[in-house]
Structure 1
Amino acid sequence: MKRRNPLLRWSATVWSAAVVSGLALCTPATAAPSYEGADDHYAGSQIEKYEGVAGAPNVEYTASDQVLGHDVSGHQGAVDWTAAAKAGAKFVYVKATEGTGFVNPQFAQQYNGSYQAGITRGSYHFARPDVSDGATQANYFLAHGGGWSKDGKTLPGAVDMEYNPYGETCYGKDPAGMVAWVKSFSDTYRARTGRLPTIYTSTSWWKRCTGNSAALGANPLWLARYNTQIGELPAGWHSQAIWQFADAGSLPGDQNWLNGPLTSLRNLAIG
């Protein structure tokens, strides 16, 4: 029987290992998600960019039928909450997180400071469906300020669904994939807090990226529309809980009206 040269066998083994090692070294690593500019990604920052501003509301509301509030992010820096309360602010949503890699550096001052000034507060998450699934981001949000308590002064957390500031409008997802992502976030948040999260979006984005799905109609709607009227709502909702109608005004941050009197604000907070 002819015996194989052990030196040749050893050389072949070393060569195979070297090839595998070389392939591993040449395989490009997956790039980490970008969070460049995340401090300036606030609720409506991309909606204004893509949809524009077509006027201010042409309706006069009073405290008996609409409640004035606003939303802030790290973009505003530290906020004078005493002044905001004196200017009429009754509620605020504060950006807490983005994706799974960014926490608002001003969150503690904004979230706790508003509460101490007697303003009903809630927190929101800037969604990044391109970096991880909805459940993962709901848990990240909850771990960094997105919780809820039944104290009558804390709003349910909100998820900000709007145009992708980093690339493709719908974060590379088709309508079915986007609906599944939002449902995953919503279901996870509800399982851990007992509350459905508020969904922030615009009708145009919702139509484009979810196919105008009616699947999330049980969640409170925070509608973004910078126009004279609220206009068409996304499918599944018969009314909005909150209307974000302007990106600036007498209060810090964006301007919002809660749809109803102060009792509605308390109802939204308590659930």
Structure 2
Amino acid sequence: MNQLILLTLLTCALALPCSALEAELQFYVKAGTETIKDLKLKKLNSEGIEALTKKRYTDAARIYSDFIQRAPQSPIGYANRGSAYNSLQRFEEASADYAKAVRLDPSLKKMIDPSKPLVDKAMSVIDEGDLDKAETLLTSAAKMNPKSAAAWNELAFIKSQKQDYPKCIELASKAIAIDGTNADALANRGGCRSGSGRYKEALADLDKAIALGRGQAESYLNRAGVNAALKKCTAAAADAAKAVSMAPSLKDAATRMLTGCGR
């Protein structure tokens, strides 16, 4: 997840596909195998499960494409081809397959979020610096799943980078309403409240983000800036030092954050 630094652009690592999700999907299709009457489909499904298990994702995608041709109304093919596409970082295709699987079998909502591949794709695009394209992807993800805290938070991050702080606060608040323990969303809202001069509210958000036990260097750095603005200079210096100890590359940004304390 991305967190705002008011003075620098934070890039993010690509969120790689989750092996736990693949395991859940494999469990699903293994259970579903009992309902497959066509012997060819049973064979394809077994081959597909083996390919996924051995991380031969290109083979798995091909096998489940064959499966879908034979059984276009079976969620099994779409669910596992989506898993293969996600592992191949073909995120938009994965999202489409997951959405189709969920439409065919609504019980799959418990283990599949069709919007997640779009969020993953958007995060990689943010890393490349194309915020407009990422925003388009995330808007689609949020429309697909309005309860995706990750989508709303990444949209908030993009707005923060465009210095649209009111919109950032609105979007981060949506993420927090869905998941009140989302430290990244709290940190982003805190950063944007700070950018809007709402320092006391910003401090409350950043305190909570750090207290959740997932305090990143960016959270400490932003809190240093807020404390400096509130003339809490001892606390500001401590937060700046903590941020630099976690990420030495933030040293110059930390120095700028403390200008309000005459440092």
TM-score range, shorter chain: under 0.3
Higher relative contact order, chain-length normalized (CA < 8 Å, sep 6+): 1
- The higher radius of gyration belongs to 1
TM value normalised by structure 2: 0.27
Instruction: Please identify which structure carries the higher helix content.
Output: 2
TM-score (norm 1): 0.27
Larger strand fraction of residues: 1
